Amino acid sequence: MTVIPSPAPPPGPFSSCAPEDVRRVACVGAGVIGGGWAAHFLARGYDVTAWDPSPDAAVRLHRLIAAAWPALEQLGLADGASQDRLTVTATLEEAVAEAQFVQESAPEKLGLKRDLLARLDAAAPAGTVIASSTSGYPMTDMQTQAADPGRLVVGHPFNPPYLIPLVEVVGGERTDPAAVEWASRFYEVAGKSVITMDREVPGFIANRLQEALWREALHMVANGEATVAEIDASITEGPGLRWAVMGPMLTFALAGGEGGMAHMLDHFGPSLKSPWTRLEAPELDRALYEAVVAGCDEAANGRSIADLVAERDRGVIDILRATGRLPRTAEEATR
């Protein structure tokens, strides 16, 4: 996978060890994202402790990891990687007591994140970096109650964290920049592609872009302009194919022909003023809610969520392979 290199930070004061020497990771909150992180870290050969207050969390977590494992085997497991290296603990304190890195993936509620990060800070070994998976809260708003806010960072993944390489890393006003540097390096060592942001932006980078598309899609459903299936096809059969290879900027540079982005801007710049986008979020009333949910059920056409997860995982691996982020052949793998 593509890794954006950053210089190795010196060990400490963040964490008792260098990012390269981490062996034990704690995942707190073990739903879709926490479970996906646990699967990723296990596949990379770490010992993982997990805690989640839900009574059925352990069962769900094991099920999620078992479902992800075939994809992880295809990606290539680290030496010694095993699902048996997961320990689900009865308390948060046990989960983080010996952790060398903590990934928090609890529900996206500001008060809950504030309390939880303060509890994690109180329970984790001094100096252990604690990262939040938050989709959009600035760390400045979440680190208000922690005794040592300096070690709290955002490490924002994409679903599923065991397959999508990107993590956006950013600190808050009270985060020590050395903790951000340590976390970025740790994620790289753990096989992720990292963008380290030097300032806080609500929604970070990718979610600002995804959100713009999502709002527009909801407007189109609300207005009866396109069905859920048409919206999905417009991306998977269209721009989505290009975006897996190049981002929206370079993709549009090529739309300018030999004149590149300059011609693109000259040619289509005036269209920016045409009413192509609405951007204000639509009212998520019952009718829109039901139309979107029913449209997705129809689009699934009898496939269960588990079927769709397996299909998505196969597809993403094929794309990673086809675009050279994974070896295409056994020969390439040994090169």
Ligand X SMILES: NC(=O)c1ccc[n+]([C@@H]2O[C@H](COP(=O)([O-])OP(=O)(O)OC[C@H]3O[C@@H](n4cnc5c(N)ncnc54)[C@H](O)[C@@H]3O)[C@@H](O)[C@H]2O)c1
Residues near ligand X (CB under 6 A) are 28-34, 52-54, 57, 105-108, 112, 116, 133-135, 156-159
| Nearest distance in Å: CB 144, ligand X | 16
Nearest-angstrom CA–CA distance, 96 and 128:
9
CB of 136 to ligand X, least distance (A): 7
Residue closer to ligand X, measured from CB, 54 or 223 = 54
Two tokens, residue 24: 């034990």
- Smallest distance from ligand X to CB 20, Å: 26
Taking the C-alpha atoms of residue 215 and residue 120, their distance in angstroms, rounded to an integer, is 34
Residue 52: CB minimum distance to ligand X, A: 5
CB of 254 to ligand X, least distance (A): 29
Q: How far apart are the C-alpha atoms of 227 and 211, rounded to whole Å?
A: 18
Cβ-based nearer residue to ligand X, 72 or 120: 120
CA-to-CA dists, residue 229 to 47, 293, 300, 312, 326, angstroms: 41, 11, 9, 16, 30
In the bound state with ligand X, the residue whose beta carbon lies nearer, of 116 and 131, is 116
Residue 115 Cβ vs ligand X, minimum distance, rounded to whole Å = 7
Phi, psi of 12 (to 5 degrees): 65, 165
Residue with the shortest CB distance to ligand X: 31
Nearer to ligand X, 105 or 264 (CB): 105
Nearer to ligand X, 64 or 81 (CB): 64
**Which of these, 49, 44, 143, 36, lies nearest to 94 by C-alpha position?**
49
* Residue 195, SS3 per DSSP: strand
Distance CA 195, CA 159 (A): 16
Q: Which is nearest to 102 in space by CA: 78, 138, 136, 127?
A: 127
Which tokens belong to 172? 């808050």
Angstrom CA distances, 42 to 35, 91, 125, 188, stand at 10, 20, 21, 15
Residue 132: CB minimum distance to ligand X, A = 7
Nearer to ligand X, 129 or 142 (CB): 142
d(CA 110, CA 143): 10
Q: In terms of CB distance, is 134 or 175 closer to ligand X?
A: 134
